[in-house]
């Protein structure tokens, strides 16, 4: 980080701490990528649900979860929806520059939901 010891208009940077501005831009870009990837993932999740319901309808099976894979899957869906709601609220609070930053646990719960989803896949493969 540079420290400016004298003030002269031609020596002033656009931001008083250029390194912190770079860090801010990097975080903003990462948040946008995170939001876009999760939006795309949500679309595929919805499409997968449509196929799942269509298959259950064709096979004349119950729509209510009856296997460990199905029960874990529904819990995972609830976790994903909660993550989406909290994530959008967190983005709004960041845009509004709310201090202190709320929802610091959002990243940890996202990791937990991801691991839970992997467990659903393991249960599905184990049931085959």
d(CA 99, CA 102): 8
Q: Is 112 helix (H, G, I), strand (E, B) or coil?
A: helix
Q: What's the CA gap between 16 and 123, in Å, rounded?
A: 54
Q: Specify the pLDDT at position 95.
A: 85
Give the pLDDT confidence of 41-73 residue by residue, as tens digits: 999 999 999 999 999 999 999 888 888 999 999
For tokens 């989406």, the residue is 84
What pLDDT does 5 receive?
43
Radius of gyration of the chain measured on its C-alpha atoms? 22
Please tell me the distance from the alpha carbon of residue 128 to that of residue 83, in angstroms, as a whole number.
Answer: 30
- Predicted local confidence at residue 51, as pLDDT: 95
Question: Which range, of 20-34, 39-53, 107-121, averages the lowest pLDDT?
Answer: 20-34
d(C-alpha 95, C-alpha 62), whole Å: 44
pLDDT at residue 21, rounded to an integer? 64
- pLDDT exceeds 70 at position 34: yes
Cis amide prior to 100 (ω within 30 degrees): yes
pLDDT band at 20 (very low <50, low <70, confident <90, very high): low
If you write DSSP's letter for every residue of 22-38 in order, what string do you get?
A: HHHHHHHHHHHHHHHHH
**Domain-wise residue ranges, the chain:** 12-61, 64-128
Per-chain mean pLDDT for the chain: 84
Compute the average pLDDT of residues 90-100: 88
| Residue 8 pLDDT | 44
């Amino acid at each position: 980080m540079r420290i400016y010891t004298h003030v002269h208009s031609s020596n002033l940077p656009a931001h008083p701490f250029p390194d912190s501005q770079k860090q801010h831009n990097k975080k903003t870009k990462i948040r946008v990528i995170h939001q876009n990837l999760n939006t795309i993932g949500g679309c595929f999740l919805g499409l997968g649900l449509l196929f799942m319901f269509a298959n259950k309808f064709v096979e004349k099976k119950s729509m209510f979860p009856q296997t460990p894979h199905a029960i874990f899957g529904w819990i995972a869906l609830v976790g994903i929806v909660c993550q989406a709601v909290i994530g959008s609220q967190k983005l709004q609070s960041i845009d509004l520059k709310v201090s202190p930053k709320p929802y610091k646990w959002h990243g940890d719960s996202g990791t937990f939901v991801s691991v839970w989803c992997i467990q659903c896949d393991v249960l599905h493969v184990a049931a085959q």
